[in-house]
Amino acid sequence: MLQTELPFDPPKSEMKHLSYRERLAKLLKGNLDFHGEKGATHVHAWHAFPARFPPRLPERFITELTQPGDIVFDPMMGSCTTLLEAVISGRRAVGTDIDPLSLRLAQAKLNAADMKNTRESGDELIESVRHRLSNGKDALEKSLKKRFDPKTKAFADYWFAHSTQIELAALADEIEKIENRTLRAFFTLVFSSVIITKSGGVSLARDLAHTRPHRVTDKIPASPVAEFGKRLQRNLNRLTCHPQAESMVMEANSQRLPLAKETVDLIVTSPPYANNAIDYMRAHKFSLVWLGHSVSSLSRLRRTYIGGESTTGTEFLPLPAYSEHIVGRLTASDRKKGRMLHRYYSEMSRTLSEMHRVLRPGRAAVVVVGTSVIRGTDIEIQKCLREIGEHHGFEHIHTAVRRLDRNKRMMPARWNTSNTGIEARMHEEYVIGFLKTE
């Protein structure tokens, strides 16, 4: 589509005279592509995160549908895009996620305005790491030995060269010693950003940020300490001041939200893909093992992510008619995949029910979701989630289709390789707009 053919964007002056419902409809019918807009030079870009949405997307709904002081909520906050945009525009932000890396990123990003003397502290940190590397190698070897249980050690040995492990252990040790929580959270984020990059960072992996890592033998990994220094500098350059609106993040499953009913003014969120196309834990454990998590505990946690493959112990819910039909169609061609999809829609049903409960009447929930094709079958996610949302009492206002920016968005690696019809559709996603009627 040519630029001139893009849907019309409503001017702000016109929006003022519309009712809340009309504003929501108008926003959904406007241009939601946001290609080539802000992001890379911002706190948003402090750390790689697959399938995050462009900051302008939540920003537009937040500024047009809420007032300063209102509560904006994202039950699956990921890299914190919605929450950051909320606090930047003076709204209060609440977020939940089950991913330990997401929670750590939120802690660092939402407190960015509190950081004092960060550059000096960063230089001191690097200095003490370098000192330990040149004077305390034996102690570091011992510390590395104690760091992991056998299974986690086997993981670290497979994916990281020994010299890299020594540097990472020194960095992790020194970061743990920092007393100021905000600084510690920021340095932890920088540490993780050195490992989780498109190219696999300082590990022996490639395609890490795409969450499909594979080990390569011809890679000469860069020095973690040198990379840490570069990232520190780059992230500090991206540190923009933003108002310190209140924010709260919680480790919680979106199917059981720790919020009272009718407490939030707007939800903007994006759930994981239905076909497990992005396996967050597969990439995130590369840095989480250095932050005190064991491979076994992370594997247990991975099973609880929405969109996971395993259906052992799943509490399946009865689905409304069309969603039941789509699950049945897939089950007929592949029973296992059919059960996986049933799990996904059951989990999304509990999530949408919780979103409806915590939202104030008369307010909107915006759900951004990727297209999914399983075994060659389009699972019609936009129709099914709409139907499930309506089943829980939401009024569906409109579903927009937005085109992903291939250059920016980190998508599953295999999607970048072919140009078939299905692959082309994978470069679109849906923005489903719901209203909780009064």
Ligand X SMILES: C[S@@+](CC[C@H](N)C(=O)[O-])C[C@H]1O[C@@H](n2cnc3c(N)ncnc32)[C@H](O)[C@@H]1O
Binding site for ligand X (CB under 6 A): 49, 51-53, 76, 78-79, 81, 96-99, 102, 253-255, 270-272, 280, 304-306
The amino acid at residue 405 is D
What residues contact 102, with CB distance under 8 A and at least 6 apart?
Answer: 49, 77, 78, 79, 80
Q: Is 40 helix (H, G, I), strand (E, B) or coil?
A: coil
Q: Would you say 229 or 271 has its CB closer to ligand X?
A: 271
Report the Cα–Cα distance between both ends of the chain, in Å, rounded: 38
Instruction: Indicate the Cα dihedral angle 152, 156, 157, 158, nearest 10°.
Output: 100
Q: How far is the CB of 290 from ligand X (least distance, A)?
A: 19
Is-contact 146 78, C-beta < 8 A? no
Which residue reads 């995949």 in tokens?
Answer: 337
Q: How far is the CB of 54 from ligand X (least distance, A)?
A: 8
- What DSSP string describes 340-359? HHHHHHHHHHHHHHHHHHHE
Q: Would you say 225 or 411 has its CB closer to ligand X?
A: 411
Residue number, nearest CB to ligand X? 78
Q: Would you say 174 or 354 has its CB closer to ligand X?
A: 354
For strand 264-269 and strand 71-74, is the pairing parallel, antiparallel, or unpaired? parallel
Q: Would you say 107 or 254 has its CB closer to ligand X?
A: 254
Cα distance between residue 316 and residue 385, in whole Å: 16
Is-contact 252 59, C-beta < 8 A? no
Q: How far is the CB of 254 from ligand X (least distance, A)?
A: 4
Q: Would you say 77 or 171 has its CB closer to ligand X?
A: 77
Cα distance between residue 354 and residue 246, in whole Å: 23
The token pair at 243 is 């108002």
Q: How far is the CB of 272 from ligand X (least distance, A)?
A: 5
Q: How far is the CB of 166 from ligand X (least distance, A)?
A: 30
Q: Would you say 171 or 355 has its CB closer to ligand X?
A: 355
Q: How far is the CB of 31 from ligand X (least distance, A)?
A: 19
Task: Specify which residues 94 forms β-bridges with.
Answer: 73, 248
Q: Would you say 85 or 174 has its CB closer to ligand X?
A: 85
Q: How far is the CB of 256 from ligand X (least distance, A)?
A: 9
Cα distance between residue 22 and residue 2, in whole Å: 27
